[in-house]
Amino acid sequence: MKAQLMPHRHHTRAANLPDNLSALWFLLPIIIVFGVLTLIPLIQTFFYSLTDYDGYSPNLNFIGLQNYVTIFQDPSLLQALGFTLLYAVSTTLIITMLAIPLAITLNSAMWGRGFARSLFFFLGVPSQAIIGLVWKFIFSPLDTGVLNKFLAGIGLPSVQWLAQDNTAKMCVIIVAVWMQVGWHATLYLAYLQIIPADLYEQSMVDGANGMERFMHITLPQLVPGIAVSMFLLMTGGLKIYDLPYTLTSGGPGTSTNTITQAIILRGIAQSKYGLGSALATLFTIACILVIVLQMKATNSLEKRFA
Amino acid sequence: MNVRSKMRGLLALGAAAAVVLPFAACGSSSANTTTISFYSYFAKNQIGTVVDDFEKANPDIKLDVSYGQNPSQYVQTLQTRLAGGKPPTVFNLTMDNRTDVMNSGAAMDLKNESFTKGIDPANFQLFQQDGKTYGMPVTAWFSGMFYNKKILAAAGYKTLPASWDEFIAMSKKIDASGKTAYLEDFNSQPSPSLAGLLGSSYGKKNDTNPDNDIWTGKATFSENWKEAVNEWDQGIKEGAIPQKSIGVSGDQIKNEFVSGNLAVYRSGPWDISDLAQSGIDYGVAPMPAVKGAKPWITGGPDQGFAIAAKASAKEQAAGKKFLTFLNSKQGLKDFTSAAGTVSLSSKYSSTPAKEIASLVNDYLKKNHAYWINWGKSPTAMSTTMIAEQQQLVQGKITTSQFLKALDDKWKTL
Amino acid sequence: MNRSQRFLLGKAARTVIVLALALLCALPLWYVLINSFKSSIDMITNPMGLPKHWVFSNFGDAFSDGTMLRSFANTIILTVAGVFLQVLIGSMAAFGIVYKRSTFTKIVGGVLMVAFSIPLQATLLPQFKMAAAVGLVNSLLGLVVLYTGSSVFCYFLIVGYMSSLPSELFEAAKIDGAGAGRIYVRIVLPLIKPILTTVVVFQTMSTWNDFLLPSVFLSSTDKQTVVLQVYNAVQKFSTNWPLFMTITVITLIPVFIFFFFCQKWIVSGLVAGSVKG
């Protein structure tokens, strides 16, 4: 046994070095990009977070962890954190549940398929200013709003969509789903292409119905795609800035404020760049935690299906 | 430096797409023209003609203009450029960044420059600090209440009532008739009707420098704003400021007015051409006033123009020429007619459109115009005010909680 | 009902449902398109319907000052160069990770995931200062360099897909004596065409549409991008919405056409099908 294994191990070791080296060459560009465009700026941001830098004047003083203390004493930030989490989790779940069936449908035979795919993909493309304009018009609390007119048409009372805390939160999430579902369906569409066709052929022979095929072949095979899509949604959701801003400007009150808005508001609008930087640093750490948790979850999911 | 060498490495990579290079390299000006950059708060269709006519009058100077998208984006981008050491030669001091920019020393002192002549010194107040002048406003903006004559007539009113109490009474009648009496945008700015009440309240006290006591710490919001905020809250409770105003944009409000569903809204010169096209029969009035006071309008000096302190002497000289042109007959004419604003300078007297002439002649020129120009951290204060206003309209807080929130925020900044 | 009839019926039903849903969801796009042919007052009184009078002058106005074509050229340069580099760097990195797994690649992979979660706003000012120090502010080249930052996004999308490829493919090629570069170009790239197309399309769209970076980094009129042109139509109190819509339409038509033709490639894996084995 031993004698048989030896040459094999030898062989792997010898092959390891050039392989590792090639891998390094391929990774080098992204390491440079990451170092220059992310790591160095991030270190600077951390540095600013320990100062009273105002973002304008060249003078700054070290104030230690004072900025971090200020953050933990600010109740409005908890509110922002709450909505950001609600937004990130709910858009991730809803979009995933809608995008997979959409992708499967767009992958099946139908007329005008290219056109439909293009339309769905393009929903979120126009600028935020336009999306805000159109959806404000749809969700208008006035009786002349598109949705309220529709409700009146079927005999229901009008709803003050953007004028109430809970409905405003819901509106932001609905628009986010609308914007992104087509693009994530496109992503799943790509993943559907690497499911080996013989899996389906075999199941046809076994007489499985559509639902069984979906549960036992499509879904397990899509797990890597689901992991990618959910990761994108989660990170994107935690970073969300533009959408609530254009739709509600954070209102009513502060109910749809997000963490990124808080970073910008404090860092730039209040000329407390140091405080904004501290918030950004904490936010990055929080994101890492959320993502590690999510990775753990998807990993165990992948193992279960594999 | 390490950063630099890494950047170089990236540069080499980027050069793979060599098409970019010729474009990156061009833009250098010929020997006898000076190119200066101008980062404009004003939109292209407001200040574009001024730029064109300036370049015609000064063929040796080229203005490289970029435009801000909205007030907060303008502030953010300008700050990045200033802090990054690449300031535009000419830029605007806005109501949102003036205090920060003045503190930072990024703008040069214009105090003894001859081109500021002709503008009343009072207008420079917002752009002055420690005896220095950092910005020059050349125009003023203003707005008032626009009302649909037909809807008011049906409710028994010939013109808009001058007092807030009567305004509330009128709103009830109009709302009962199925139309909407009043809507305003307090989602992106402090409430215009509240600003009108504040202005009239200061006017009653003959306070020539409204809010200054709050900015200097001699008074609080709870003291100085109490009367106006209480009257405004009365309007909320009696339905004159409906909750559905939250989440409605200025554009939507204008749409409602144009479609004849809305009786009154706050507007200014910028809507006149659209209103004329729509054929709506409307009148213009000042903002309703607090009890026992004369009405005021909302308005004040526009954003100031500033020159970068860090610019070279040659660039500063060109920048001064541009400011000189802005405060000249031609420049003011171009600017006020495109932006619908009023000249602050004696060098040119703009004629406001006849529909709104009364607001200019009877109020703006008599200094009966008010707007909240925060003494420090303007964006933070107005963000707080917007959020608190909405909560007041939702009935979640009381007026004293509203005022206390403003006082508390002010103290932390 | 026989099998082919059932197939046709299913196809017809799917077509009707999907197209109806797509058109319903696309109403906001219709709103943008149709209002570019209206006057502002027509847009207010009749937001969704056909124009009372077709107005074409908005399109003329959009090009009137002569900077539009230049902006188009700038945007094309930025997008082509930026997306090419992003996808190249991203796919190379993904291949590096998948090609030979080791502690080192594990660490790099983990760090890149973290990089992904940092909001751009948090690093914007330091980035600007660095770019200013090396003279890359107000230059298209500088912006291309900044856009390579998105290669982390490309990496992430591609690495997930690549991991789903059977590893025997690499082993087989290695035994045949192919080097890493050869495996990357000849075997891996053709196999990941669906995801490459998806990434290219998505990055093209977001680079083309980007507002934040150009607005901060480009200050010259002759370096403007089309999206900056869109926002020039916005005014503080009253935006000329029809003109805004028009410029948006002009801006988006090229990307729409691009996507329409590219989406065929996303499903090309079906045809290439070498994975099917």
Residues B247 and B336 in one domain: no
- CATH no. for residue B380? 3.40.190.10
Mean pLDDT value across chain A: 83
Residue finishing a domain among C19, C39, C58? C58
What is the pLDDT, as a whole number, of residue B382? 86
Q: Is B200 in the same domain as B256?
A: yes
If one compares A93 and C272, the residue with the highest pLDDT of the two is A93
Question: What percent of chain A clears pLDDT 90, i.e. is strictly above it?
Answer: 19
Q: Does any domain span residue B91?
A: yes
Question: What percent of chain A is helix, strand and coil (3-state, nearest 5)?
Answer: 80, 0, 20
Answer whether residue C230 shows pLDDT above 50.
yes
Residue B72 placed within a domain:
yes
C205-231 b/e (C-beta count within 10 Å ≥ 16 → b): bbbbbbbbbbbbbbbebebbbbbbbbb
Contacts of B249 in chain C (CB under 8 A): none
Cβ C78 vs Cβ C223: under 8 Å: no
Burial of A214 (0-12, 13-18, 19+ CB in 10 A): middle
The total number of residues written for chain C in this structure: 277
Tokens of A53: 């830098």
Helix (H, G, I), strand (E, B) or coil at B179: coil
Q: Are residues B232 and B110 in the same domain?
A: no
CB burial of A121-136 (b: ≥16 within 10 Å; e: otherwise) equals: bbbbbbbbbbbbbbbb
Instruction: Tell me whether strands B128-129 and B61-67 are parallel, antiparallel or unpaired.
Output: unpaired
Most confident of B96-100, B327-331, C193-197: B327-331
Give the pLDDT of residue B29. 46
Residue B109 lies in a domain: yes
Integer Cα distance of A131 and C150 in angstroms = 24
Average pLDDT value for residue range B73-93: 89
For B119, phi then psi, to 5°, come to -105, 130
Assigned domain for B358 exists: no
Contact call for residues B29 and B35 (beta carbons, < 8 A): yes
Lowest pLDDT segment from A54-63, A112-121, B92-101, B371-380? A54-63
Mutate to test the interface with C, among B1, B3, B5, B7 (most CBs of C within 10 A): B7
Rounded to the nearest angstrom, the minimum Cα separation between C240 and chain B is 10
pLDDT digits (tens, 9 = 90+) for A72-90: 887 777 888 889 999 999 9
Whether the predicted pLDDT of B14 surpasses 50: no
List pLDDT tens digits, range B361-401.
Answer: 999 989 899 999 998 888 888 888 999 999 999 999 999 99
The arithmetic mean of pLDDT across residues B310-327, rounded, is: 95
**Are both C233 and C173 inside the same structural domain?**
yes
A70: Cα separation from own chain's centroid: 28
B328 inside domain: yes
Domain check: are C50 and C105 in the same one? no
Does B261 lie at the interface with C, CB-CB under 8 angstroms? Answer: no
Contact yes or no for B194/B228 (Cβ under 8 A)? yes
From the number of C-beta atoms within 10 Å of its C-beta (0-12, 13-18, 19+), residue B153 rates as: exposed
**Percent of chain B residues past pLDDT 90, beyond the cut:** 64
* B383 inside 8 A of chain A by CB: yes
Are B70 and B109 within one domain?
yes
To the nearest whole angstrom, how far is the Cα of C69 from the nearest Cα of chain A?
A: 20
Q: At residue A14, does pLDDT exceed 50?
A: no
CB contact under 8 A, B394 and A252: yes
Check B259 against C218: CB less than 8 A apart.
no
Q: Give C236's contacts in chain B (Cβ within 8 Å).
A: 43, 70-71
The 8 Å CB, 24+ separation contacts for B120-123 are B120/B344, B122/B367, B123/B301, B123/B344
Residue B46 is nearest to which of C80, C224, C235, comparing CB atoms? C235
State the nearest Cα–Cα gap between B342 and chain A, in angstroms. 29
pTM: 0.84
The predicted structure's pLDDT at residue B307: 97
DSSP characters over B259-289: TT-EEEEEE-GGGHHHHHHHT--EEEE-B-B
The subunits that touch chain A, with at least 3 C-beta pairs less than 8 Å apart, are B, C
Of A10-14, B150-154, B256-260, C255-259, minimum mean pLDDT range? A10-14
Which one is predicted more confidently, A208 or B259?
B259
Q: What is the domain-level CATH number for residue C207?
A: 1.10.3720.10
Instruction: Judge contact between C269 and A193, C-beta under 8 A.
Output: yes
Number of domains in chain B: 2
Total number of domains in chain C: 2
Structural contact between residues A54 and A273, judged by C-beta atoms closer than 8 angstroms: yes
* Residue percentage of chain C with pLDDT more than 90: 14
Chain A CB contacts of C96 below 8 Å: 22-27
Q: Helix, strand or coil for residue B345? A: strand
**How many C-alpha atoms does B381 have within 13 Å on its Cβ side?**
22
Between these two residues, A32 and A259, which has the higher pLDDT value?
A32
**Chain A: closest CA distance from residue C247 (Å):** 11
Using the Cβ of C216 and the Cβ atoms of chain B, whether some distance falls under 8 Å is answered with: yes
Give domain status of residue B18, yes or no: no
Q: Helices C120-133 and A40-49 sit at what angle, rounded to 10 degrees?
A: 110
Q: Which residues contact C122 (CB under 8 A, 6 or more apart)?
A: A42, A45, A263, A277, A280, A281, A283, A284
Predicted local distance difference test score (pLDDT) of residue C269: 46
Radius of gyration of chain C (CA): 23
Q: What is the greatest pairwise CA distance in chain A?
A: 85
Residue B39, beta-bridge partner list: B66, B91
Asked if B14 lies within 8 A of C218 by C-beta distance, the reply is no
Tell me if B381 is assigned to some domain. Answer: yes
pLDDT score for A6: 37
Q: Are C76 and C41 in a shared domain?
A: no
- C-alpha B384/C-alpha B409 separation (Å) is 8
| Res B244: pLDDT | 87
Spell out the residues 6+ positions from residue C28 whose beta carbon is closer than 8 angstroms to its own. A123, A126, A130, A131, A134, A135, A138
CA angle A144, A148, A151 (to 5 degrees): 135
pLDDT band at C272 (very low <50, low <70, confident <90, very high): very low
A 10 A CB-CB count for C59 gives 16
Confidence of residue C268 (pLDDT cuts 50, 70, 90): low
Nearest-by-Cβ selection for A133 from B3, B251, B391: B251
Residues A127, C26: C-beta atoms closer than 8 Å: no
Number of Cβ within a 10 Å radius of residue B28 = 6
C-beta atoms of C119 and A260 within 8 A:
yes
Amino acid letter for position B268: G
Same domain, C54 and C67: no
Least confident of B221-230, B270-279, C41-50: C41-50
pLDDT in the model for residue A306: 57
Interatomic CA distance for residues A275 and A77, integer angstroms: 12
The answer on pLDDT for B99 being more than 60 is yes
CA gap B133, B136 in Å, rounded? 8
Question: Looking at the structure, do residues B260 and B311 belong to the same domain, yes or no?
Answer: no
- Residue of B184, B246, B413 for testing the chain A interface, max A β-carbons within 10 Å: B246
DSSP annotation of B30: P
Mean pLDDT confidence for C216-231: 84
pLDDT at C234: 65
Q: Specify the pLDDT at position B267.
A: 94
Residues A79 and B9: their CA atoms lie apart, in Å, by 43
CB contacts < 8 Å between A and B, how many? Answer: 120
Domain C-terminal end among C58, C84, C99: C58
Judgement on whether residues C51 and C66 belong to the same structural domain of the protein: no
Residue A125 is predicted with a pLDDT of 79
Tokens 């220095």 correspond to what residue? B132
Radius of gyration of chain A measured on its C-alpha atoms: 25
Above 60 in pLDDT, residue A11? Answer: no
CA atoms of A256 and C14, how far apart (whole Å):
37
Of all residues in chain A, the one with the smallest CA distance to B251 is A133
Tokens 């792997």 locate to A12
Report the Cα–Cα distance between both ends of chain B, in Å, rounded: 38
Same domain for B210 and B309? no
Rounded to whole angstroms, the Cα distance separating B191 from B185 reads: 7
pLDDT (average), residues C243-270: 78
pLDDT > 70: percent of chain A: 92
Kindly list the structural domains of chain A, giving each domain's residue range(s) and its CATH number in brackets, ordered by start: 76-305 (1.10.3720.10)
**Cα torsion through B170, B172, B178, B179, rounded to 10:** 40
Domain that holds residue B106: 33-138+302-345
Nearest to A99 by CA among A194, A180, A172: A180
Enter the DSSP assignment of A35.
I
Q: What is the mean pLDDT of residues A255-282?
A: 80
Residue B182 pairs in a beta bridge with: B264
Residues C138-191: tens digit of each pLDDT: 899 999 999 999 899 899 889 888 887 877 877 888 888 888 888 888 888 888
Does C71 share its domain with C164? Answer: yes
Instruction: List the subunits that have 3+ CB pairs under 8 angstroms with B.
Output: A, C
Per-residue pLDDT at B11? 38
At residue A4 the predicted structure's pLDDT band, cuts being 50, 70 and 90, is very low
Q: Are residues C128 and C39 in the same domain?
A: no
pLDDT tens-digit profile of A93-136? 999 999 999 999 988 888 888 888 888 888 877 777 778 878 88
Mutate to test the interface with C, among A184, A194, A299 (most CBs of C within 10 A): A194
| Better pLDDT: B30 or A229 | A229
Is residue A2's pLDDT more than 70? no
| B window 215-244, beta carbon within 8 A of A | 243-244
pLDDT at B410: 93
Query: Is ipTM > 0.90 here?
Result: no
Question: Which comes out higher in pLDDT, residue A212 or B164?
Answer: B164
With bands split at pLDDT 50, 70 and 90, how would you rate the model's confidence at B16? very low
B189 touches C at CB < 8 Å: no
pLDDT (average), residues B69-95: 87
- Which pLDDT value is given to residue C60? 82
Q: Which of residues 226-245 of A touch C (CB under 8 A)?
A: 227-228, 231-232, 235, 238-239, 241
Instruction: Indicate if C51 and C182 belong to the same structural domain.
Output: no
**Residues B234 and B146 grouped into a single domain:** yes
Phi, psi of B124 (to 5 degrees): -85, -15
Do B321 and B262 fall into the same domain? no
Same domain, C48 and C70: no
Better pLDDT: B170 or A264? B170
Of the candidates C58, C89, C105, which is a domain's last residue?
Answer: C58
Q: Return d(Cα A230, Cα A83) in angstroms, integer.
A: 18
Q: B28 lies in a domain? A: no
Looking at every residue in chain B, the average pLDDT score rounds to 88
pLDDT of residue C1: 61
Enclosing domain of residue C42: 3-58
C41:B46 CB<8 A? no
Q: Is B244 on the interface with C (CB under 8 A)?
A: no
- Tell me which amino acid residue A246 is: T
Q: C136 and C41 share a domain?
A: no
Q: Final residue of a domain: which of B312, B345, B378? A: B345
Three-state SS sequence of C7-56: HHHHHHHHHHHHHHHHHHHCHHHHHHHHHCCCCHHHHHHCCCCCCCCCCC
